């Protein structure tokens, strides 16, 4: 996964999609009392503040965190821009993540994400990736606290090898689940190895979108609309993480 995603949802959307799963998991869903958008961003970039879901005292609740993990021992907040993703295959080996795997799990809700193919003759153009059934994506994440970040919380999104539904455009994808399995992840009842189990992931679909996505200055609903980029110059601002 590259470094941009889309989040456009309200509290009511989270409740409608994950409410039953939370109840079945024996948790309470503790959400803000608002009808406003929790996140309404069509071009979420690294170090942006985002809502994530964490389990605390038997409840699944919302916490605002910086997307881009800054380890608690780091004195440099700039490392967060390079630590937006954590590879599932090496979570228990990397010093920045291994101590978070059991106790600091989170769920990152997304409407979809952008990806840029790395092969082919055409200039690298963006694709918008969503669940085939148009549901929210519940991506696995890890979080920690940081004294050098304003709100004190930072997180990284876990990624895995792509399945056949996405491998045509990129070899990695967020480790995302149904709402039921996402609750298992957040409660630490899911084994780390299951993050790489492609059969557990809802099917994805994708379409080409405007190269306007490539600039973080652009943020509007039309960015996710299907288009064809015919010989458009590419303004390359998106992170190339893999």
Question: pLDDT by residue (tens digit) across 52-93?
Answer: 999 999 999 999 999 999 999 999 999 999 999 999 999 999
Domain of residue 75, CATH code: 3.90.1680.10
In a domain, 154, yes or no: yes
Question: Minimal CA–CA distance to 32: which of 74, 80, 64, 66?
Answer: 64
Q: What is residue 151's predicted lDDT score, i.e. its pLDDT?
A: 86
Contacts of 58 (CB under 8 A, 6+ apart): 26, 27, 28
pTM: 0.92
**Catalytic residue flag (residue 155):** no
State the catalytic residue, choosing from 106, 115, 183, 184: 115
**Average pLDDT over the chain, rounded to an integer:** 92
Out of 2, 106, 155, 183, pick the active-site residue.
Answer: 2
Instruction: Select the more confidently predicted residue: 122 or 124.
Output: 124
Q: Evaluate whether residue 238 is within a structural domain.
A: no
Note whether residue 239 is domain-resident. no
Q: Is residue 230 part of a domain?
A: no
Residues ≥6 apart with Cβ < 8 Å to 225:
209, 210
Tell me, yes or no, whether 133 lies in a domain: yes
Do residues 111 and 146 touch, judged by C-beta distance below 8 A? no
Number of domains in the chain: 1
In a domain, 68, yes or no: yes
* Residue-wise pLDDT tens digits, 65-75: 999 999 999 99
For residue 11, being part of any structural domain is answered with yes
Mean pLDDT of 212-238: 79
**Cα–Cα distance measured from residue 117 to residue 5, given in angstroms and rounded to the nearest whole number:** 15
- Name the one residue in this structure whose structure tokens are 């989270």: 14
Does any domain span residue 231? no
Structural domain range at position 94 = 5-224
């Amino acid at each position: 996964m590259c470094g941009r995603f889309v989040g456009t949802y309200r509290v009511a959307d989270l409740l409608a999609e994950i409410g039953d799963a939370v109840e079945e998991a024996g948790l309470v869903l503790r959400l803000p009392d608002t009808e406003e958008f929790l996140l309404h961003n069509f071009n979420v970039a690294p170090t942006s503040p985002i809502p994530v879901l964490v389990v605390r005292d038997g409840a699944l609740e919302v916490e605002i965190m910086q997307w881009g993990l800054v380890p608690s021992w780091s004195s440099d907040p700039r490392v967060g821009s390079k630590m937006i993703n954590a590879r599932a295959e090496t979570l228990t080996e990397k010093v920045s993540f291994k101590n978070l795997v059991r106790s600091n799990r989170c769920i990152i809700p997304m409407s979809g994400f952008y990806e840029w193919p790395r092969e082919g003759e055409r200039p690298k153009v963006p694709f918008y990736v969503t669940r085939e059934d148009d549901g929210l994506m519940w991506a696995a994440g890890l979080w920690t606290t940081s004294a050098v970040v304003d709100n004190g919380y930072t997180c990284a999104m876990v990624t895995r090898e792509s399945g056949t539904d996405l491998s045509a455009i990129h070899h990695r994808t967020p480790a995302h689940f149904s709402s039921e399995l996402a609750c298992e992840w957040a409660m630490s009842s899911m084994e780390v190895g299951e993050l790489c189990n492609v059969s557990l992931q809802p099917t994805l679909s994708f379409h080409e979108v405007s190269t306007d996505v490539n600039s973080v200055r652009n943020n509007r609903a039309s960015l996710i609309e299907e288009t064809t980029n015919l010989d458009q110059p590419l303004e390359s601002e998106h992170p190339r993480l893999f």
